[in-house]
Each structure stands twice: as C-alpha cells, then as structure tokens.
Amino acid sequence: MKTMPQEDRPLAGILVIDFSQFLSGPLAGLKLADLGARVIKIERPGTGDLCRSLYLSDTEIGGDNSLFHAINRNKESMLADLRKPEDRARLRALLQHADVVIQNFRPGVIERQGFGYEDVRALNPGIVYGSISGYGEDGPWATLPGQDLLAQARSGLLWLTGSRDDPPMPMGLAVADMMAGTALVQGLLAALVGRGRHGRGAHVQTSLLEAMVDFQFEVLTTHLNDGHRLPERPAVGGAHAYLGAPYGVYRTRDGWLAIAMTPSLRTLAELMQITGLEGWLDDPRAAMTHRDAIKTVIGQHVAARSTDEWLAILQPADIWCAEVLDWPALMQSDAFQGMDFLQKIGRDCGLSLAALRSPLRINGQVLKSGRAAPGLGQDTDRIVSEFALDASGNSADEIVSRHVAP
C-alpha cells in the first residue's frame, strides 16, 4: 500500500510537547505523531523516560528496550532538568509555540514544577492540554500509583475475565494504559477541532480507571439496569459473562475454535451432528439458563475433529467462528500480509528494527514512518536553535519573565 507523506497528514503543522512517561501518555503522543503532528518528548538528563529501562524481555535495541521503541517512534527528544532555571525558561519559551501538551504524572506533580494546565495556559491561552492520572485528580485513590495492573484490578476487569473457576485474570497486555491513551487522543482531537471553530483551548483529562470503566460500558449498562445483579462467568470456555451458549472457546483435536453467533442452537446441533442437546433446542432461554451444560456437550463434540474440519463445516453455513491463532500464524496469514502492517524503522546511526504501523488508513494510504524512537536528548540542540530558546544577552530570569502572562 502507498504511504501517506508526513506533510499530507491531517495533523501536519501541529506541535505537541510531551512530558509523559511509560505508556499511556506516550501512546497518545504516538497516535498524534502517526497522524502528522510533530511530537517533542521532554526527558530528564541522564535517565530520560524511565520506560527506556523497563524491559519486556532481554532484547535491547540501540541502548533502549523494545517497548520504548514501540511507543516512542517518530518523535524527537529534548533534555530538560526542571530543577534548573535555564531549562525551565527554555520550556516556557517552547510552550508558547505548542498546540498540545501531554502529561501523565501523579496529580499535583507537574503543577509543583510550574507546568500544570493553568501555568501553560498563562503562557499560551489557546493550548490544548492533556492529562492522564491513575484515578482522577481528587478522591481517596488520587495519590495511589496509577499502574496498569492495579487499574485493571480495581476496575472489575480481572474479576470479570475468564471462566468461573479461574482466579482473577488480567489481560495479557497493558490494556488500561492503552485505553487511557486512546481516550486522551479522542479528547485532544476534539479540542483541536473546537479550537479551530471558536479559538479556545481546553484541558482534556482522563484516567486509567475511567478508561477501564468505559471499556466495560456495555456490560455495566446491563448491570445498572438489571437490578444490579452480578453476572456469572461461564464454567466452560469463558468468553463473555453475559452471553449464552455456544459463545466461547473450545479445544479441537489439534487446536482451538472460537464460536460466537449462530442462527439457533438447533442449527448448530444439526450441522455438527451433536446429540445430547435435544431437551434445550426449542427453549429460547436455555442458551443462558443451561449455558454450562450445553457448552460441555458442545465441547466434547468439538474435540473429535480438527479446527480446519470444523471451519469447513461451519463457515459456509454462516456460523460465526474462527481459529485461535498465535502471532506467527497470524503474521503468516494472507489476510495479515495483505494489510501491509509491518514497517522498518531506524536511526541515522544505522539502527534498524521491525515495527507496526498505525492501524489507520486515510484515502487508501497507510500511515508509516521510518523514524525510530529518538536517542536520549538527540534533538535538544536543534530544537533550542530552531525556536531560539537561548536568547542572546538574556538571563534565565529575563526569559522566564518575558513568557509569563500578566
């Protein structure tokens, strides 16, 4: 597929100053960069974003781990020590040029540094400012660590996931961080559109907990309007606590088969030649009231054939089903390869690695970018020069006072 040039992307010309670390805030910056924004990542000298040393495996790429590369590609890195007046002055000068600011510190931290929303708005009244916290800016959980697994645990997702006899089950990725970053992007884009119409900036706020609660809005809405009854996880092939048989995952002779929707239980039983379901086939409520018994019978029958054999029977009959793939099988599939989802990214030093592109396509073009995550502070000198952040003949105090609104 053809790649859309950076200058043709919707956010070309938008400048984002990103104070955030780890995953949720940098994910928001990544999504904006893929859409064409220029993202300058502010990092502390010496260590930089702590995510640089948060290893998912023992794979190190150019001095940084794979997670940092995944979440910070297509950005620039500028060093700033917020304890130093001259660096604070540089940032205040730079923020006057910004369209968007992102931060995900605990509530009160960035405000104490002098770069909270009100501080930045005094410098730049049209700023669109995005904040991600763990559990909101006030309340009894506000000062607790805003970490992904902990947010999943408090949100109810661990309790909801899996089969009945399973322990609480987290998802196999940092879903709270991902969802919070994605939610923030939605708000930032809306605020940018609003600013283009009425000229006013905005403070967009979300939290890991709010994103996780919203992630469950479908089932929570049922719970809130169903006498506050709690769902029961299925005992067999858990997939969705509110959906009846056959919805779930079943072991086949050589793998696994996911079965979702079917015209009727009778249709499925006839296609699969299942015996033992006769007492439930004409009861529209049986799929839920006898869910575990029905799924047990289906599971015993599914185990007798291979996954491919079942797909050949069920898919032509419009039974919604799928094989369960691991990553190698997914990436070897014609469907995945036709999406042109992989890309090569690198640094000028010769570093090269594989990465994924943005999931979006605009006018039939994909949003790839060949630039890897920046080396720590690699763009500092160029940014300082470009924006004249060290004004000749001015002391740090003079630079600060010049950029503070009366």
Give how many domains the chain has, as a whole number. Answer: 2
Domain-embedded: residue 308 = yes
Q: What is the mean pLDDT of the chain?
A: 93
| pLDDT beyond 60 at 395 | no
CA of residue 327 relative to chain centroid, distance: 19
Domain-embedded: residue 61 = yes
Give me the torsion for CA of 182, 184, 186, 187, rounded to 10°. 170
pLDDT at 44: 96
Residues 24 and 74 in one domain: yes
Q: Which residues pair with 132 in a beta bridge?
A: 206
What average pLDDT does the segment 34-55 reach? Answer: 93
Domain-embedded: residue 13 = yes
pLDDT at 56: 67
Residues designated catalytic = 177
Could you tell me whether strands 361-362 and 365-366 are parallel, antiparallel, or unpaired per DSSP bridges?
A: antiparallel
Please tell me the total number of residues recorded for the chain in this structure: 406
Residues 209 and 260 in one domain: no
**Are 259 and 320 a contacting pair, CB within 8 Å?**
yes
Domain-embedded: residue 293 = yes
Indicate the pLDDT class of residue 215, thresholds 50, 70 and 90.
Answer: very high
- In sequence order, the 6+-apart residues with CB closer than 8 A to the CB of 304 are 253
pLDDT at 391: 61
Domain-embedded: residue 379 = yes
CA of residue 349 relative to chain centroid, distance: 29
Residues 164 and 89 in one domain: yes
Residue type, 128: V
Residues 307 and 391 in one domain: no
Residues 61 and 144 in one domain: yes
Domain-embedded: residue 397 = yes
Indicate the pLDDT class of residue 309, thresholds 50, 70 and 90.
Answer: very high
CA distances from 211 to 29, 31, 160, 245 (A): 17, 17, 16, 29
Residues 117 and 16 in one domain: yes
Indicate the pLDDT class of residue 161, thresholds 50, 70 and 90.
Answer: very high
Question: Whose structure tokens read 């559990």?
Answer: 135
- In sequence order, the 6+-apart residues with CB closer than 8 A to the CB of 275 are none
Q: Model confidence over 162-197: pLDDT tens digits?
A: 999 999 999 999 999 999 999 999 999 999 999 999
Residue 293's domain comprises 256-323
Residues 68 and 185 in one domain: yes
Indicate the pLDDT class of residue 53, thresholds 50, 70 and 90.
Answer: confident
What average pLDDT does the segment 198-220 reach? Answer: 97
Burial class (CB in 10 A: 0-12, 13-18, 19+), 4: buried
CA of residue 7 relative to chain centroid, distance: 25
pLDDT at 400: 40
Residues 353 and 389 in one domain: yes
State which of 277, 296, 323 marks the end of a domain.
323
Structure tokens at 316: 């032509």
Residues 153 and 279 in one domain: no
Could you tell me whether strands 342-346 and 76-79 are parallel, antiparallel, or unpaired per DSSP bridges?
A: unpaired
Residues 176 and 312 in one domain: no
Q: Angle at the Cα of 307 (from 318 to 238), degrees rounded to 5? A: 80
Domain-embedded: residue 333 = no
Residues 302 and 351 in one domain: no
| pLDDT beyond 90 at 404 | no
Our separate counts of H helices and E strands in the chain read 18, 15
Residues 306 and 355 in one domain: no
Burial class (CB in 10 A: 0-12, 13-18, 19+), 302: buried
**CA proximity to 274, closest of 313, 243, 308:** 313
State which of 275, 298, 323 marks the end of a domain.
323
| pLDDT beyond 60 at 294 | yes
**CA pair distance 116, 205, nearest whole angstrom:** 12
Domain-embedded: residue 239 = no
Question: Whose structure tokens read 């379901």?
Answer: 277
User: What CATH number does residue 177 fall under?
Assistant: 3.40.50.10540
pLDDT at 349: 80
**CA proximity to 373, closest of 341, 342, 351:** 351
Q: Model confidence over 87-128: pLDDT tens digits?
A: 999 999 999 999 999 999 999 999 999 999 999 999 999 999
Is the bond leading into 125 cis (omega within 30 degrees of zero)? no
State which of 323, 350, 370 marks the end of a domain.
323
